[in-house]
Structure 1
Amino acid sequence: MKIHGLQKMTLLDFPGRVACTVFLGGCDFRCPYCHNFELVTGEAKPIMDDQELFAFLEKRHGLLDGVAITGGEPCMNPGLPGLLRRIREMGFMTKLDTNGYHPDMLSSLLKEGLVDYVAMDIKNSPGKYAETAGLKELDMDRIRESIDLLRNGAVNYEFRTTVVKELHEEADFEEIGQMIRGAKRYFLQCFTDRDTVPFGNLHGPEPEEMERFAGIVRPYVPETQVRGM
Structure 2
Amino acid sequence: MKVAAYVKTSLVDFPENIASVIFTQGCNMNCPYCHNKDLCTMKDMVDNQDIISHLAKRAGTIQGVVISGGEPTLQPRLKDNCRKIKSMGFKVKLDTNGTNPRIIKELIKEDLVDYIAMDVKAPPQKYRDLCGLDFRDVEESFNIIKSFKNHEFRTTFYPLLDASDIKDIVDMTGTKNYYLQQYRPISDDSPPSYESESVRDLCRDLKIKYRGI
Normalized against structure 2, the TM-score is what? Answer: 0.93
Which residue in 1 is equivalent to 2:121?
A: 123
Q: Secondary structure at the match of 2:15?
A: coil
1:143 aligned partner, one-letter code? V
Tell me if structure 2 keeps the 8 A contact 1:124–1:168.
yes
Aligned residues: 213
**Structure 2 residue 194 is the aligned partner of structure 1 residue 202:** no
Whole-Å separation in 2 of the counterparts to 1:143 and 1:2: 23
Which residue does 2:161 correspond to in 1? 168
The CA deviation at 1:184 is: 3.8
| Contact 1:174–1:216 (CA under 8 A) maintained in structure 2 | no
- Report how far residue 216 of structure 1 moved: 5.6
- 1:73-222 equivalent positions in 2, closer than 5 A: 73-133=71-131, 135=132, 138-154=133-149, 156-165=150-159, 167-181=160-174, 184-194=176-186, 200-215=189-204, 217-218=206-207
The residue number in structure 1 matching 2:5 is 5
Contact 1:176 1:217 survives alignment (8 Å):
no
Q: For residues 179 and 207 of structure 1, what CA distance do their matches in structure 2 show?
A: 24
- Give the stretch that moved more between structures: 65-74 or 49-58: 49-58
Q: Which portions of structure 1, spanning 4 or more consecutive aligned residues, are displaced by more than 4 angstroms?
A: none
Residue type of the alignment partner of 1:123: K
Q: TM-score, normalised by structure 1?
A: 0.86
Contact 2:3/2:23 (<8 A) preserved? yes
Shift of 1:2: 2.4
One-letter amino acid of the counterpart of residue 14, structure 1: F
SS for the counterpart of 1:48 is coil
Query: Alignment RMSD, CA only?
Result: 1.8
Gaps of 5+ in 1: 219-223
Counterpart residue identity of residue 167, structure 2: E
CA contact (8 A) 1:67 1:92 kept: yes
Equivalent in the alignment of 1:33: 33
Residues 65 and 91, structure 2, Cα contact 8 Å, conserved in 1? yes
How far apart in 2 are the matches of 1:227 and 1:79? 31
Cα deviation, residue 153, structure 1: 2.6
